[in-house]
Amino acid sequence: MSKEENTANRPDNTAFTQQRLPAWQPMLSAGIVIPGFVIIGVAFIGIGVALFVTSQNIQVLEKDYTGIERNSSCFKCTNPRVKNCNCTINFSLDKLFEGPVFVYYGLSNYFQNYRKYGVSKDAVQLTGDLAYFTEPSTTCAPYQRDAKDKPIVPCGSIANSMFNDTFKLFQIVNSGNVEVPFDGKGIAWWTDYNIKYRNPTTNPLKNAFNDTVKPIFWPRPAYELDPTNSANNGFINQDFLVWMRRSALPNFRKLYRRITEGEYAKGLPAGDYALVIGYNYPVLAFEGRKKVVFSNVSWMGGKNQFLGIAYLVIGSLCVVMSIVMLIVYAKFKFPDEE
């Protein structure tokens, strides 16, 4: 009887409660660490070499066209009172710029990652919900309603500040200027185009925008963003989508067009070119800069020197560390007991 009472009060004698669970106890032994470092080092050096070589083969051409210097061709456009200004940048290519060539516009000192700027949009309105056309969300303030208290569609600061410079590229040949065709389809994310931004289902699209006004800085309302292509209007306009995908850093570039058609599908041949820019977007007020970038891509994307060099550096450091550790281990050998 007393024995049963005794056993009733005993603690559990299981492996879990008595901390006897079977376990693996790793130890940082030299046999694991030093070869591990060597393997990592060698692998990184290999990857680094591949990345560096790939990156070296990518061609990039950048042209700043802000027009700060007096002698630049776009200086005349920096005057804010000049409307519909066009300026031309001339450049020449020594050798074939291999295709497909991608055209980007780049901005500097432009903080799309500013927090208040980033929340200034109405995600529900942009999915085509007509209820939010008449009542845009208050997060869009001060671009929620205009001075006459009419709702702005699309509301918010991001939409309002949409980039509106235009570019045309001409190759200068003997017979004159040949326009290089640009392709603007599918430059935005698939999920943006198909899921995140939807047009209201009203047909014609223009009727959905009754009793609303366009954003203050826009030249044309949303349903007229692309006069040449009726499918590229409203919220699913590719340029609009590219702009709405805001950037993480103050110096960024966004995809504008790609050159994939006709005889330029294989790339831009060597020669002279003229880039005609419709200069609409003012950046000098905040000391920003604008540039246009031509680039081609590889499996790892665009030109990225940092990745290749970083891998090479880290790989060699690992190998050096493993040699050091080997020397230390050989000198102060961990004593083998028994």
- Contact positions with other proteins (CB under 8 A) in 294-323: 295, 297-304, 306-307, 310-311, 314, 317-318, 321
111 binds other proteins (CB under 8 A): yes
- CA–CA separation, 336 and 328 (whole Å): 16
| Least Å from the CB of residue 226 to other proteins | 19
| Least Å from the CB of residue 209 to other proteins | 20
Of 75 and 111, nearer to other proteins (C-beta) is 111
- 104: Cβ–Cβ under 8 A, 6 or more apart, which residues? 253, 254, 255, 256, 292, 293, 294, 295
Q: Show contacts with other proteins in window 203-232 (CB under 8 A).
A: none
| Least Å from the CB of residue 54 to other proteins | 11
Q: Which of 70, 81, 83, 116 binds other proteins (CB under 8 A)?
A: 116
- 150: Cβ–Cβ under 8 A, 6 or more apart, which residues? 211, 212, 213
Stretch that binds other proteins, among 5-13, 155-163, 218-226, 261-269 (CB under 8 A): 5-13
138 binds other proteins (CB under 8 A): no
Q: Which of 94, 149, 211, 337 binds other proteins (CB under 8 A)?
A: 337
One DSSP character per residue, 177-210 reads EEEEPPB-TT-S-HHIIIII----S-SSHHHHTT
131 binds other proteins (CB under 8 A): no
Q: Show contacts with other proteins in window 160-199 (CB under 8 A).
A: 187-192, 195-196
As to burial, measured by CB atoms within 10 angstroms (0-12 exposed, 13-18 middle, 19+ buried), residue 260 is middle
Q: Which of 271, 281, 307, 277 is nearest to 292 (CA)?
A: 277
As given in the structure block, the two tokens for residue 40 are 């990592």
13 binds other proteins (CB under 8 A): yes
DSSP secondary-structure letter at 95? Answer: S
27 binds other proteins (CB under 8 A): yes
Q: Show contacts with other proteins in window 63-82 (CB under 8 A).
A: none
Helix (H) or strand (E) holding 46: helix 30-56
Angle between helices 305-331 and 30-56 (to 10 degrees): 160
Site string for other proteins, 29-48 (x = CB under 8 A): -x--x--xx--x---x--x-
Q: Give residue 117's Cα distance to chain centre.
A: 17
- CA–CA separation, 136 and 124 (whole Å): 9
Of 168 and 245, nearer to other proteins (C-beta) is 245
20 binds other proteins (CB under 8 A): yes
Of 151 and 315, nearer to other proteins (C-beta) is 315
90 binds other proteins (CB under 8 A): no
Tokens 């990184």: give the residue: 44
Of 77 and 244, nearer to other proteins (C-beta) is 244
| Least Å from the CB of residue 176 to other proteins | 30
Q: Which of 255, 259, 275, 292 binds other proteins (CB under 8 A)?
A: 255
